[in-house]
């Protein structure tokens, strides 16, 4: 009997310890009172760790004829947004950007400017440079992340065909990587590098049948591995970053169930951060506390200089947004 009770106690302690990191998290969304880029959805953002600024490019004002597509570059220095370039890639949406720390440049790939694109551009803080016009097929709404351990850019999925291919950019050329196991073809995924796992993590996305996915995968440079983790809700058109102070991945977005929440992944579990769940299906509805309105297709990156996650813009279901938010965690 004593052995049975002792075993039960050990089991219960193990269960509690699994959830302790999420329960101890304290994060607050703060809206910044700043003038920024005009309202838009589907921009791309990347944090330039060498210069300590967030770079934003592109985006779209709507979905109807006459909507404006942007092709200018903005930077955020923690105090204000500054327009820094009006030339470079064509105006577009659905592209992706990451910062290549080994080479000190922001890498932009793909998108849609009325036509699906597959060129690769680099931004060095002064000008854009076209560096490749071959590689992955023309696409948008794909996932992309920078693998800090291996020094390569990793790309997965996208439309127009809800592809399930994996590519890597080494600064010179794109290479397709074929594996026996991989996530199913999808678009509108979120990807981020997790230094604890030394792997790129992929979460969610939109499947070919239009349904959102709730699975989590990691890519270590050789194989995709599905992680046994339960997501609070399946989702697509969301963002994800690594939060160094917490040692976890953070994702924010609208789930299939209608909630907009901020969730954390410690490598084993997804958990909703207390106080960040905006329930209900109403577009832009009010909720307790100061929270971003429900949105999709926004820009989100971790700002290392300010030690916070920066969120800009998006689409609330009826109009583009132009607000700037920080998620501050302890």
- CATH number, domain containing residue 266: 2.120.10.80
Q: What is the pLDDT of residue 274?
A: 80
11 lies in some domain: no
7 lies in some domain: no
15 lies in some domain: no
* pLDDT interval class at 56 (50, 70, 90): very high
Q: What is the pLDDT of residue 259?
A: 66
32 lies in some domain: yes
Q: Is the pLDDT of residue 25 over 70?
A: no
Per the structure, the count of domains in the chain is 1
Q: Report the range of poorest mean pLDDT among 63-77, 227-241, 285-299.
A: 285-299
The values of phi and psi at residue 9, to 5°, are -65, -45
243 lies in some domain: yes
* pLDDT interval class at 28 (50, 70, 90): very high
Give the angle 241-246-249 at the CA atoms, nearest 5°: 30
pTM: 0.89
94 lies in some domain: yes
Q: What is the pLDDT of residue 65?
A: 67
The full DSSP string for 167-210 is EEE-SS-EEEE--SS-PPS-BS-EEEEETTTTEEEEE--B-TTS
User: Quick one: CA dihedral 261, 264, 270, 271, positive or negative?
Assistant: negative
CA–CA gap between residue 194 and residue 268 (Å, rounded): 13
Q: Do 39 and 313 form a contact (C-beta atoms < 8 A)?
A: yes
21 lies in some domain: no
5 lies in some domain: no
CA–CA gap between residue 63 and residue 66 (Å, rounded): 9
Domain span at residue 63? 27-329
Q: What is the pLDDT of residue 9?
A: 38
CA–CA gap between residue 57 and residue 193 (Å, rounded): 21
């Amino acid at each position: 009997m004593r052995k049975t009770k002792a075993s039960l106690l050990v089991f219960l302690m193990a269960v509690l310890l699994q959830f302790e990191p999420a329960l101890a998290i304290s994060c607050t969304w703060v809206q910044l009172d700043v003038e920024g880029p005009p309202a838009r959805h589907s921009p791309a953002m990347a944090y330039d760790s060498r210069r300590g600024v967030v770079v934003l490019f592109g985006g779209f004002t709507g979905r109807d004829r006459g909507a404006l597509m942007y092709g200018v570059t903005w930077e955020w220095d923690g105090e204000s947004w500054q327009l820094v370039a009006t030339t470079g890639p064509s105006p577009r949406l659905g592209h992706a950007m990451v910062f290549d720390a080994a080479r000190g440049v922001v890498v932009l790939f793909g998108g849609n400017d009325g036509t699906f694109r597959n060129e690769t551009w680099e931004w060095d803080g002064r000008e854009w440079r076209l560096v490749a016009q071959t590689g992955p097929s023309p696409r948008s709404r794909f996932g992309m992340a920078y693998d800090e351990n291996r020094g390569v850019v990793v790309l997965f999925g996208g439309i127009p065909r809800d592809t399930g291919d994996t590519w890597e950019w080494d600064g010179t050329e794109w290479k397709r990587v074929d594996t026996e196991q991989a996530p199913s073809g999808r678009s509108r995924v979120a990807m981020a590098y997790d230094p604890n796992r030394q792997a790129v993590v992929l979460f969610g996305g939109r499947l070919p049948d239009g349904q959102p996915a709730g699975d989590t995968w990691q890519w270590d440079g050789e194989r995709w591995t599905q992680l046994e983790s339960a997501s609070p809700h399946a989702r697509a058109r969301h963002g994800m970053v690594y939060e160094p102070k917490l040692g976890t991945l953070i994702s924010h977005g609208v789930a299939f169930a209608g909630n907009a929440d901020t969730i954390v992944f410690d490598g084993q579990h997804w958990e909703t951060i207390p106080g960040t769940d905006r329930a209900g299906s109403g577009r832009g509805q009010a909720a307790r506390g100061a929270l971003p309105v429900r949105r999709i297709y926004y820009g989100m990156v971790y700002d290392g200089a300010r030690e916070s996650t920066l969120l800009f813009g998006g689409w609330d279901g009826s109009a583009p947004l132009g607000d700037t938010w920080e998620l501050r965690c302890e």
